[in-house]
Chain A
Amino acid sequence: MTRYILKRLLMMVPIILIVSFIVFTILSLTPGNPGQIILGATAEKEDVDALNHELGYDRPFLERYVNYIINALHGDFGLSYSNQRPVFEEIFLAFPISLKLSLLAILTAVLIGIPLGVLSAVKQYSLIDNICTVLAMVFASVPGFWLSLMLILLFSLRLELLPSHGMDTPLHYILPVFTMSVSSAASFMRLTRTSMLETIRQDYVRTARSKGVPENVVITRYALKNALLPVITVIGSYFGILLGGTVLTESVFALPGLGTLILQAIRMKNVPMVMGATIFLAGMFSIIILITDIVCAFVDPRVRAMYSNK
């Protein structure tokens, strides 16, 4: 198992390198130069050129990239163009907000999606199953930012129950977390339903029933354990996606998270900021997927056995 984890961590290195190269290439295609951005539009051309030279911006593309990687390996990801602070300092300031939102959202999605999925499967083709299935389909198709607008319109502007922006009190979290969780909840519900329907038709479940095990125990203790295995993998990848996709929610609710930071950085062509944040998020994504795989191995003895044999 340890060997497997180490191998996976090693595999992350080329992926992060490719990510950094892709993003570096895209950013170098973006019009504008750092000297102008740092000094502002009114700066003298000589000053701009001097600063560009100092930053190494006038060197060839590959040399700049290699320099960036060498510095990054020494833990130096550069200074943000907008305020001359180390980029990771900025990232660590903004990241907790996005992390908190994503964690709460994935938790909400699990708490809504899985029970409804189980209920739908157990009562297949009933009224409640039909309602849940239709709602899940609809909510999987609703853009989060539009849902946010609608909820703000209803709960903040009309009913004046919930705040529409900022994050001072727990009440502030309700709308952003809910809108972020909705499409994941819909996916979890659909997946749990399908998986549960497959599981409750299996022989061992029939055996349990014929032994006289009460139906609710059959569902919760026997069927659910196996039915949730495919759901766990999906929860992991959705969490990764949520974490990287907070930009729209943060923009609607005016939250100073990582998404907002990146959006501003992209607009400003703040290269070190975008690079740092992308590498950070890509690393987080890979680690989340790795943790998901490990969790899967822990809960499924069959998978665990596969690793220990190797």
Chain B
Amino acid sequence: MTGNLNLSKEILAEYFGDDEQDFKKRNQIGEVWRRMRKNKTAMLGLAVIIIFALLAIFAGFICDYDTMAIKQNVSIRLQTSSAEHWFGTDTYGRDVFARVIHGGRISLSVGFISVAISALIGGLLGATAGLYGGRVDNMIMRFMDAIVSIPSMLLTLALVAALGHGIRNLLIAITIGQIPAFTRVVRASVLSVTGQDFVEAARSYGTGTFRIIYRHIIPNAIGPIIVQATMSIAGTILQISGLSFLGMGIEAPAPEWGSMLAEARPIMRSSPHLVIFPGMAIVLATLAMNLIGDGLRDALDPKLKD
């Protein structure tokens, strides 16, 4: 028994450095971050998304919204890349770079906010289903099955048509479609935890349900939720641009990556820069989120690493 203990201490020391105290203090998040930092592609994704976020947050300081992204200036229409207009100008003489970074505000904010809300709602529903089981579980999960079997694009299109255009309605429409994924993830991790011995042990000490949720279920569910959230943000960015491309998302003249593509489509042969830059923005933002999600999944599940 003591031999075993010594051995595991050695392994731990090797893994975390010699400082035993240090190991005790280090929490779960710190540990995940350590493993994540070793993953170069995930860090690249993180760097890209931070740059996008900074550009989006400070878009107003970099390029003025009204004069550069909205105001039409036909005398400089359809210019290609230059020192003055990095990504060139569009049909109405608006600066494409300004429109891309202002468009990022919409994609990223709607992406992050809708995923946060759906994670919260989906998480609560999933936890309820997992904890109570039986009838409640059945009802919640059948409802989620129904939402999933409606094609997601169709559901959001119908919701946007019902609620009307605009960022707030787009946000609601996209949030609803994301909820089932979180419900499933949280329900699964609740079920996997509640059956385990350590929860049984905690129960046998007389630990209350609330404390079990807080101490055991949340820490075990948070990893899968974060991974799902990262992937969902990537999916959401694609979905927003798709909706706007179909003319069912953000209304003109507000800059949005998808609607910029739709606008540029008829003249893409003569001005390919108008479809290339907004498209690259979508790809980079989505790719970055997917890379982070992959990295997080590996970092949270050491078994996957060989």
Q: Mark A residues whose CB is within 8 Å of B.
A: 14-16, 18-19, 22-23, 26-27, 29-31, 137-138, 140-143, 145-146, 149-150, 152-153, 157, 197, 241, 243-245, 247-248, 251, 262-263, 266-267, 269, 274, 277-278, 281-282, 285-286
Cβ A143 vs Cβ B294 within 8 A: no
Chain B residues with Cβ below 8 Å from A248 are 153, 242, 245-246
CA distance A140 to B275 in the complex (A): 19
Q: Which residue of A lies closest to B160 (CB)?
A: A266
Give per-residue flags for B143-173: 1 if the beta carbon is below 8 A from chain A beta carbons, else 0: 1011101111110011101111000000000
Cβ A15 vs Cβ B287 within 8 A: no
Smallest CB separation, B17 vs chain A (Å): 27
Which of A23, A145, A152 contacts B158 (CB under 8 A)? A23
Which of A137, A146, A197 contacts B291 (CB under 8 A)? A137
Chain B residues with Cβ below 8 Å from A30 are 158, 161-162
Cβ B286 vs Cβ A22 within 8 A: no
Cβ A26 vs Cβ B158 within 8 A: yes
Question: Chain B: how many interface residues by the 8 Å CB criterion?
Answer: 42
Cβ B151 vs Cβ A18 within 8 A: no
Smallest CB separation, B36 vs chain A (Å): 17
Residue B230 CB within 8 A of the other chain: no
Majority secondary structure of chain B interface residues (helix, strand, loop or mixed): helix
Cβ B234 vs Cβ A141 within 8 A: yes
Knowing A26-B162, A137-B287, the reply to whether A247 touches B147 (Cβ < 8 A) is: no
Cβ A266 vs Cβ B157 within 8 A: yes
Cβ B283 vs Cβ A15 within 8 A: no
Report which residue of B152, B161, B163 has the largest number of chain A beta carbons within 10 angstroms of its beta carbon. B161
CA distance A1 to B105 in the complex (A): 52
CA distance A263 to B306 in the complex (A): 47
CA distance A23 to B155 in the complex (A): 8
20 A–B contacts from the bound complex (CB under 8 Å): A19-B146, A22-B147, A23-B158, A137-B41, A141-B286, A143-B242, A146-B261, A146-B275, A149-B265, A152-B268, A153-B269, A247-B246, A251-B246, A262-B154, A266-B248, A267-B161, A274-B158, A281-B150, A281-B154, A282-B150
CA distance A16 to B148 in the complex (A): 11
CA distance A274 to B162 in the complex (A): 12
Chain A residues with Cβ below 8 Å from B282 are 143, 146
New contact pairs (12) apart from A19-B149, A150-B279, A248-B246, CB-CB < 8 Å: A18-B143, A23-B158, A26-B158, A30-B158, A137-B291, A138-B283, A149-B265, A150-B276, A244-B154, A263-B246, A278-B158, A286-B149
